[in-house]
Amino acid sequence: MKIDIKATNLELTEEIKDYLNKKIGDIDRFIPNINFPLEARVELARTTMHHQTGDIFRAEITMQIPGKVLRSEAEAKNILMAIDQLKDNIQREIKEYKEKNITKTRKADRLRKFLTASPFSRFKK
């Protein structure tokens, strides 16, 4: 998986890059049947510079997979905590995407079975 990282109002250190690659880098194993490399765009930002009230770090990820664009955001008091929350959120989005596709596939299979069956097959003895 290719990860593009953008930092806004934040110095991007090697520690943060390594942590992000460790957490987000293996997300593509949760997406089934992908025959091409995925690309994730991650933005890390510091939302405020002058005071410490509230959540001041924001992490955002955007991934394009076949048929859908997955996007997630997280805010926390620490950039590493924001990355952890981001990973959890994007995994939840991927799980919902997979479940929806499985449901569509099963629905299509039931319809195909119904349409290919003979109309008189239920009257057989």
- The torsion defined by the Cα of 23, 26, 30 and 31, in degrees rounded to 10, comes to 120
Given a contact cutoff of 8 angstroms between Cβ atoms, the answer to whether 72 and 88 are in contact is: no
The CATH number of the domain holding residue 56 is 3.30.160.100
Digitized pLDDT (tens) for each residue of the chain, 125 residues in all: 888 999 998 899 999 999 999 998 888 777 767 677 788 899 999 987 666 666 689 999 999 887 789 999 999 989 999 999 999 999 999 888 888 878 888 888 888 887 776 666 666 65
Per-residue model confidence (pLDDT) at position 14: 95
Is residue 123 in some structural domain?
A: no
CA–CA gap between residue 25 and residue 67 (Å, rounded): 21
Per-residue model confidence (pLDDT) at position 55: 66
CA count, 13 A, side-chain hemisphere, 7: 11
Is residue 124 in some structural domain?
A: no
Beta-carbon contacts of residue 25 (< 8 Å; ≥ 6 apart): 1, 3
Per-residue model confidence (pLDDT) at position 15: 95
Is residue 107 in some structural domain?
A: yes
Per-residue model confidence (pLDDT) at position 79: 92
Using alpha carbons, select from 16, 69, 87, 24 the residue that is nearest to residue 45.
16
Domain count, the chain: 1
Domain holding 18, by residue range, is: 2-117
Per-residue model confidence (pLDDT) at position 5: 92
pTM score of the predicted model = 0.77
